[in-house]
Chain A
Amino acid sequence: MIELKNICYSVTDEHSGKTNVILEDINLTFPDNSINVITGQNGSGKSTLIKLISGIETPTGGSILYNGEDITGKSITERAKMGFTTAFQNPIRFKGITVRKLLDIASDHNNNLAGLCDYLSVVGLCARDYIDREMNDSLSGGELKRIELAMAMAKNGGVFLLDEPEAGIDLWSFDSLTKLFTRLSGKTVLIVSHQRKIIDIADNIVLLDKSGAPVVGKREEMLPRINENRNVCSVIEGENANG
């Protein structure tokens, strides 16, 4: 279980000295064995929330607890070793580092072809075509995104933090992506998404709002609320999605 207690996060502009509050006094609980979709308007702090939990950013106030332990001061590496797995919204490119090497690092052992195939086939890629390729611009945005998700699968762990996993996915169906999430049963899964099909598989929905406290609830409770809320509806991408 992950608990956010009175979390604040603000950034100060170096030039103007002006402070921009991104998250203010956020209290949230993400239970074990649950899929939690975090949604809300652009700029509501969704990606920031993921970065705070993975340790990429440090909160300016409050604390983060994992299974009762305060992990606020723990580094990215320490959290990764505790079982926190992060898939970035924008995959990172590496000149000279192959897909195989990244999957080996993620899984913390050298994989044979069968093992690599297992990670890549769940994101719809054939291992033979990709393992020796560099994670660079020779791959399309959609391929990079799928490899990013394959790395998360290879890394494994108890907590999955997925920032817009559907963004840029090309020629691959949403059904396959949601099927991938079913492999994460038993984990604590946080997904930042605007996509209706992803929201539909959530156990819990967190609706972040710049102007107030986040609204949290079970999917069935939250769906009417999302549908009613025109501001949020405007950012939910629905029926015209891929697949």
Chain B
Amino acid sequence: MDKLDSELLYKIADLHGIPEGSYNIRKDGKSLARSSDSDIEITSRKDGKEGIDIFVRPGVKNKSAHIPVILTQGGLLDVVYNDFYIGKDADVTIIAGCGIHNDTCGEARHDGVHTFHLEEGSTVRYIERHYGEGNPEGKKEFTPVTRVFMKKGSTLIMEATQLGGVTNTDRLTTASVGKNARLIIKEKLMTSGDERAVSRFRVKLIGENSSVDVVSRSVARDRSYQAFISDVIGKNRCFGHVECDGILLDEARIVSTPKIDAVSPEASLVHEAAVGKIAGEQLIKLMTLGLTEKEAEDTIIKGFLY
């Protein structure tokens, strides 16, 4: 692992080196390092596809697994399939994410297809961070797919963050939420230049008392484009809340498309969306506290996203 690798790992996973516990570090399409134990076992897939299977033993508590991916070459398309099997009543944190350093003018792209199977009563905190850097002419692209199957009483908290340098993202998250299960998604997104980011959420609330809470906060600068598309289907007595807040700067554009479908008359589904420039009164308030207009704008954006 060289200095560049270490810096990328720090940016996407706060790692200062090799993490403790189970991990799989993937670099340029190959596994760079792996460790696994009986609580969280990581194995290569057996179906011939690139990727890993992660098995979390039932009842395991307060354990974490790091599975970061780094790409340091242009002209590389890395497609990986990772499946997570979370045992009954386990409670773990999984830190994923991908950093691309592309010094070429070509394209570097990572497509991560992650499938979560949560057994009854299990809890997962899933943290995913995407980051790009290098030659501004070189493309850094992500097409992450996250599929979630949640059994009775399980909880998934997904925190997806992308704060710069990614030319193009097209994210798809689908979930099937069982009885008394809770899905919480927090998305934070910032685009600039000519970047483009699309987030799609498709959630089926199947079980009684299932719930989903999606909160997306984004900032679009320059000429960048973002689209937020959510589709929540309530098939039982359930609760769904989707909130999309976007701050527009310069010539940027944000499109928010909500769909809520109460198949069951017992379903309660809410969608809230607000897109616009920073409110002038917010800038003025911070300026009356002594900040310049630029400092006030930075403070508002930082507070909004972090």
Is A151 a contact partner of B289 (Cβ separation < 8 A)? yes
> B residues engaging A (CB < 8 A)?
217, 245, 279, 281-282, 284-293, 299-300, 303-306
How many A-B contacts if CB must be within 8 Å?
A: 57
Which residues, 71 to 112 on A, are CB-close (under 8 Å) to B? 75-77, 80-81, 84-86, 88, 92, 94-98, 101-102, 105-106, 108
Residue from the list A56, A77, A86, A151 in contact with B291, Cβ < 8 A: A77
Q: Residues of A contacting B285 with CB < 8 Å?
A: 88, 92
Please report the C-alpha to C-alpha distance between residue A86 and residue B305 in the assembled complex, in whole angstroms: 27
Q: Is the interface of B mostly helix, strand, loop or mixed?
A: helix
Please report the C-alpha to C-alpha distance between residue A101 and residue B299 in the assembled complex, in whole angstroms: 10
For residue A54, CB closer than 8 A to chain B, the reply is: yes
Q: Residues of B contacting A84 with CB < 8 Å?
A: 288
Is B300 a contact partner of A94 (Cβ separation < 8 A)? yes
Given A80-B287, A85-B288, A96-B305, 18 more A-B residue pairs with CB atoms under 8 Å apart are A56-B284, A76-B287, A76-B288, A77-B287, A77-B290, A77-B293, A84-B288, A86-B288, A94-B282, A95-B217, A96-B304, A96-B306, A102-B289, A105-B286, A105-B290, A105-B291, A105-B299, A106-B290
Please report the C-alpha to C-alpha distance between residue A56 and residue B282 in the assembled complex, in whole angstroms: 12
Q: Residues of B contacting A96 with CB < 8 Å?
A: 217, 303-306
Is B304 a contact partner of A80 (Cβ separation < 8 A)? no
Residue of B nearest to A84 (CB): B288
Is A77 a contact partner of B303 (Cβ separation < 8 A)? no
Residue of B nearest to A91 (CB): B285
Q: Is the interface of A mostly helix, strand, loop or mixed?
A: mixed
Interface size class of A (residues with CB under 8 A): 20 to 34
Q: Residues of B contacting A108 with CB < 8 Å?
A: 290
Please, what's the 1-or-0 string for A184-196, where 1 marks a CB less than 8 Å from any CB in chain B?
0000000000000
For residue A155, CB closer than 8 A to chain B, the reply is: yes
**Min CB distance, A203 to chain B, in Å?**
24
Is A95 a contact partner of B289 (Cβ separation < 8 A)? no
Q: Residues of A contacting B284 with CB < 8 Å?
A: 56, 76, 92
Q: Residues of A contacting B300 with CB < 8 Å?
A: 94, 97
Please, what's the 1-or-0 string for A5-16, where 1 marks a CB less than 8 Å from any CB in chain B?
000000000000
Q: Residues of A contacting B245 with CB < 8 Å?
A: 95
Asked if A155 meets B305 with Cβ closer than 8 Å, knowing A94-B282, A97-B299, the reply is: no
Residue from the list B290, B293, B303, B304 in contact with A155, Cβ < 8 A: B290
